């Protein structure tokens, strides 16, 4: 490993945005994975002048090793649940235990929806290019669950964009998404925080602030467009 790649999530987002803009995606919408992916996604959305929203997804951690994903769950009318069978077998997790853990994460998703999205209209994704952004990807469990859910909800094209991920994860995600953009692919990965000078935890308040700010900008742009159209 050659050391830190990124100063913080904002700087990583600006660098990632440069790579995403070059692709020239049509009719994009940017979705951040909470919480750490939201500041990165905000920079990508700003560069594209695209709407920003979040994917309400939660990792299902393995027993006694919560950072290791044995699956992931994505909110929706019918929640999308992805299983990591290798981890499930390794830890001897039963179907009932897995479902209980998934239900616990769904409760957290419900609470975060109320906190972050109360009174906010969700960005439509049907027939659009959806750019899914995180601050880094390790195993890809939450990204895969999110991709499956987005395809079911009608996304015409799915793109994964991240500052850093191991090569094996990037290759596996190419089988799931239409495109994958990753700035750095170190062979030795460890943890995402290794590649940032500042990897401070993103707060709920910060996520809410970013989404509210983006929403205000989107409304302002719509008003400008409407006024210019109606002008003689």
Whether 80 contacts 73, CB under 8 Å = yes
pLDDT(23) > 70: yes
Q: How far apart are CA 178 and CA 193, in angstroms?
A: 27
Q: How far apart are CA 55 and CA 116, in angstroms?
A: 11
pLDDT(77) > 70: no
Q: How far apart are CA 150 and CA 166, in angstroms?
A: 23
Tell me, what's the pLDDT at 116? Answer: 86
pLDDT(215) > 80: no
**Angle ∠(126,127,132) on CA atoms, nearest 5:** 75
Q: Is 144 helix (H, G, I), strand (E, B) or coil?
A: helix
Whether 36 contacts 134, CB under 8 Å = yes
* Average model confidence (pLDDT) across the chain: 87
Residues 45-60 have pLDDT tens digits of: 999 999 999 999 888 9
229 or 34, which is more confident: 34
Residues counted in the chain: 232
Residues 132-173 have pLDDT tens digits of: 999 999 888 889 989 988 998 999 999 999 999 999 999 999
Q: Per mean pLDDT, which range of 34-38, 110-114, 154-158 is the poorest?
A: 110-114
Whether 132 contacts 160, CB under 8 Å = yes
Whether 54 contacts 64, CB under 8 Å = no
**Among 121, 122, 179, 118, CA closest to 153:** 122
Mean pLDDT computed over 192-209: 94
Domain covering 9-55+125-230, topology = Rossmann fold (3.40.50)
The band of 114, judged by pLDDT with boundaries at 50, 70 and 90, is: confident
Task: Tell me how far apart the terminal alpha carbons of the chain are, to the nearest angstrom.
Answer: 60
């Amino acid at each position: 490993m050659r050391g830190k790649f990124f100063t913080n999530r904002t700087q990583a987002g600006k660098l990632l945005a440069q790579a995403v803009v070059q692709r020239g995606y049509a009719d994009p919408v940017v979705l951040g994975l909470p919480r750490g992916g939201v500041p990165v996604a905000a920079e990508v959305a700003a560069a594209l002048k695209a709407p920003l929203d979040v994917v309400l997804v939660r990792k299902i951690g393995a027993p006694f090793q919560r950072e290791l994903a044995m699956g992931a769950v994505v909110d929706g009318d019918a929640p999308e649940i992805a299983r990591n069978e290798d981890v499930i077998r390794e830890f001897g997790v039963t179907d009932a235990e897995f479902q209980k853990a998934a239900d616990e994460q769904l409760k957290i998703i419900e609470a975060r929806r109320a906190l972050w999205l109360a009174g906010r209209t969700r960005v439509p994704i049907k027939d659009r290019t959806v750019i899914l952004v995180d601050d880094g990807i390790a195993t890809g469990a939450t990204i895969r669950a999110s991709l499956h859910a987005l395809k079911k909800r009608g996304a015409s094209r799915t793109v994964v964009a991240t500052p850093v991920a191991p090569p094996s994860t990037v290759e596996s995600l190419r089988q799931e998404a239409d495109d994958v953009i990753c700035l750095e692919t170190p062979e030795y990965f460890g943890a995402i925080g290794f590649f940032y000078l500042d990897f401070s935890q993103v707060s709920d308040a910060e996520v809410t602030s970013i989404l509210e700010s983006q929403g205000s900008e989107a409304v302002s742009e719509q008003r400008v467009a409407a006024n210019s159209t109606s002008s003689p």
